[in-house]
């Protein structure tokens, strides 16, 4: 199998602000995997708060033996990629994505069938980044009451945003703090104010190292407390099963479709809710993630709507519903912006 990889910078339609900072771009690595006239694609998305970067992803890809992959069936190829090096989850996700795309195309089936999953049927949340009172209120009012909103918080704008959220009275939203609250008391107070405003869950309210405080918040909060930055793989789900009441699964964090499915099974064992999400990713990676829709209760799959130079076409949005193209593989095809 021939593997080609190249850096590609995704540009946002507008400045994206979360608790960790503001940015207008996200670094990615795109790759193609070709053999027997079948071309498959993968992507690693690399926001600045991850330990991986484009150089580490390209270095990992160079270690992959394409000739060896040609000799392996799908399960053995997946295992080879997973065991090649420790960590490198975004790099592994890109290759795992491309392998699934290639083998599903070879069998002329969609990836969800390759994974023995049900056909995806889901509605996505729409993201609102951190802003002041006017910005937050205006963004909320753009959406129909039926839209599920994910509102970013965790900054000095929190009080203004809480005021806008209370005034807007949107009936269907949750809040993603990205570890931006710095004490149990702050998290407790803001969680209760959000509950009164109609919020349905809080994602990663406290920093990763504040385990005892998060466990206490889970016990005292009326809302579901969902882990994001705290949970990457199944080992984290096991370790934090009594700390959170839900988990956010992302391919870029866990490294493979198979690990994502394993995480969802473990979450259900411990009566934890599952939110299926993504980083700032192109249509390719989010279309890939959509094949996992049946493993989750909630879905955060709107990333392509925030990108102005998306190099792929694929997933389709109708109002807040997400639909896969009726083709084999992942269902994403490169457009004129694809760099190779």
* Cα radius of gyration rounded to whole Å, the chain: 20
Which of 69, 105, 111, 73 is CA-nearest to residue 256?
Answer: 111
Give the pLDDT mean for 13-20: 94
Give the pLDDT mean for 272-290: 97
What residues form DSSP beta bridges with 149?
126, 173
Which pLDDT value is given to residue 49?
84
SS3 133: helix
Give the fold, CATH level 3, of 2-108. Answer: Enolase-like; domain 1 (3.30.390)
DSSP string covering 9-53: EEEEEEEEEETTEEEEEEEEEEEEEEETTEEEEEEEEE-TTSS--
Which pLDDT value is given to residue 157?
97
The count of residues in the chain is 340
Start-end of CATH 3.20.20.120 domains in the chain: 122-334
pLDDT digits (tens, 9 = 90+) for 22-65: 999 999 999 999 999 999 999 999 998 888 999 999 999 999 99
Which pLDDT value is given to residue 25?
97
Tell me if the pTM is above 0.85. yes
CB atoms within 10 A of CB 17: 18
Superfamily of domain 122-334: Enolase-like C-terminal domain (3.20.20.120)
Contact indicator for 333, 308 with CB cutoff of 8 Å? no
Sheet strands (E) in 101-147: 122-123, 125-128
Give the pLDDT mean for 82-110: 97
Which tokens hold the place of 201? Answer: 């869950």
Which tokens hold the place of 22? Answer: 């503001």
Per residue, what are the HEC states of 195-259? HHCCCCEEECCCCCCCHHHHHHHHHHCCCEEEECCCCCCHHHHHHCCCCCCEEEECHHHHCCHHH
Q: Which residue has the tokens 């609102």?
A: 128
- Band of residue 319 on the pLDDT scale cut at 50, 70, 90: confident
Who's near 138: CB < 8 A, 6+ residues apart? none
Start-end of CATH 3.30.390.10 domains in the chain: 2-108
Which tokens hold the place of 57? Answer: 């992803």
């Amino acid at each position: 199998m021939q593997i080609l990889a190249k850096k590609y910078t995704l540009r946002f339609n507008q400045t994206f602000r979360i608790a960790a900072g503001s940015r207008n771009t996200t670094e990615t690595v795109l790759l193609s995997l070709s053999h027997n006239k079948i071309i498959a694609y993968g992507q690693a998305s690399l926001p600045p708060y991850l330990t991986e970067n484009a150089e580490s992803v390209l270095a990992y890809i160079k270690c992959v033996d394409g000739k060896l992959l040609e000799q392996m069936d799908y399960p053995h190829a997946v295992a080879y990629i997973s065991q090649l090096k420790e960590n490198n989850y975004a790099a592994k996700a890109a290759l795992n994505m491309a392998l699934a795309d290639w083998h599903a195309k070879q069998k002329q089936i969609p990836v969800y069938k390759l994974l023995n999953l049900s056909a995806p049927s889901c509605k996505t949340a729409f993201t609102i980044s951190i802003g002041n009172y006017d910005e937050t209120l205006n963004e909320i009012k753009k959406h129909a009451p039926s839209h599920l909103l994910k509102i970013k918080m965790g900054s000095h704008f929190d009080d203004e945003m809480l005021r806008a959220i209370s005034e807007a009275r949107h009936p269907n939203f949750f809040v993603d703090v990205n570890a931006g609250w710095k004490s149990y008391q702050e998290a407790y107070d803001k969680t209760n104010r959000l509950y009164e405003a109609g919020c349905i869950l809080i994602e990663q309210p406290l920093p990763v190292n504040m385990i005892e405080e998060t466990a206490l918040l889970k016990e005292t909060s009326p809302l579901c407390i969902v882990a994001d930055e705290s949970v990457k793989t199944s080992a984290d789900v096991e370790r934090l099963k009594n700390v959170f009441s839900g988990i956010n699964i992302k391919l870029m964090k866990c490294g493979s479709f198979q690990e994502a499915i394993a995480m969802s099974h473990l979450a259900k064992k411990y009566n934890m809710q599952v939110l299926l999400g993504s980083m700032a990713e192109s249509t390719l990676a989010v279309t890939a993630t959509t094949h996992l829709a049946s493993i989750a209760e909630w879905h955060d799959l709107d990333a392509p709507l925030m990108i102005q130079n998306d190099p792929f076409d694929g997933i389709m949005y109708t109002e807040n519903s997400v639909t896969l193209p009726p083709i084999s593989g992942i269902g994403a095809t490169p457009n004129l912006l694809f760099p190779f």
